[in-house]
Amino acid sequence: DKVSGKKLAEDVVIDGHEADKYTTDRKEFDGYVLKEMPGNADGAMTKENITVRYEYVHASEGVEVKYIDIKTGEELAEADLIAGNETDDYKIYLELLPNETFSTGVKELQFIEIDFMKNVNTPPLFWTGNSKLSKFTYHPRKCIKFLEISKITDPEWSDPGNSVIIDYWIQLATQWFADHEEYDENNNRIFFNE
């Protein structure tokens, strides 16, 4: 599992000699899709060990975009479904129509592009800009659990690290990782406060 680091199957060892050809097999797992085919899935053996990593992510039902009149609750258009999988980035486009709260607008449709931070493979600004969180080695699983605990939903949220609530959230996340065994891509156990 690319996100949690959990092994989905036992390792397979292929024996041989330098320059022998090797081939690895892609496996199927319920609820998962292969993120990308490893570049070294096939090749020739060398003197050194070769590690071939097949990384999978959870299959997603996608993102449903609904168009609703905020005053009446009426659905204004058929919902759109944006397909994708766990860790995929996505964009939606809002179409704004002139009305009583947009009376000075142009009569044509106007578009606003909104990017949602869904991919946490790289540290978000709230992590790198915080004096306490930035001291810990970053891993997406740490970030996801911290967001779950803190209930932070605003991608622009920031704190320099001097608030008491940060200490409390870090304490809860540290305890969670002590109680639950999570592993990184190299099968090293993840501890939040390291």
Structure confidence by residue, pLDDT tens digits, 124-137: 888 888 888 989 99
pLDDT over 70, % of the chain: 78
Q: Please, what sign has the CA dihedral across residues 140, 142, 145, 149?
A: negative
Tell me the mean pLDDT in the region 36-57: 91
Q: Please, what sign has the CA dihedral across residues 169, 170, 172, 176?
A: positive
Give the residue, 79 or 140, on which the prediction is more confident. Answer: 140
The pLDDT value recorded for residue 115 is: 39
Tell me the mean pLDDT in the region 98-114: 45
The pLDDT value recorded for residue 34 is: 87
Among 14, 3, 1, residue whose Cα is nearest residue 54: 1
Phi, psi for 179 (deg, rounded to 5): -85, -25
* Residue 53 reports pLDDT greater than 80: yes
Tell me the mean pLDDT in the region 109-138: 70
The rounded distance, in Å, linking the Cα atoms of 162 and 130 is 9
Model confidence over 146-192: pLDDT tens digits?
888 888 776 667 777 778 888 899 999 999 999 998 888 888 899 99
* Residue 59 reports pLDDT greater than 80: no
pTM over 0.75, yes/no? no
Tell me the mean pLDDT in the region 141-147: 87
The rounded distance, in Å, linking the Cα atoms of 132 and 155 is 18
Q: How far is CA 162 from CA 98, 165, 166, in A?
A: 44, 9, 8
The rounded distance, in Å, linking the Cα atoms of 24 and 52 is 8
**Tokens standing for 157?**
């949220």
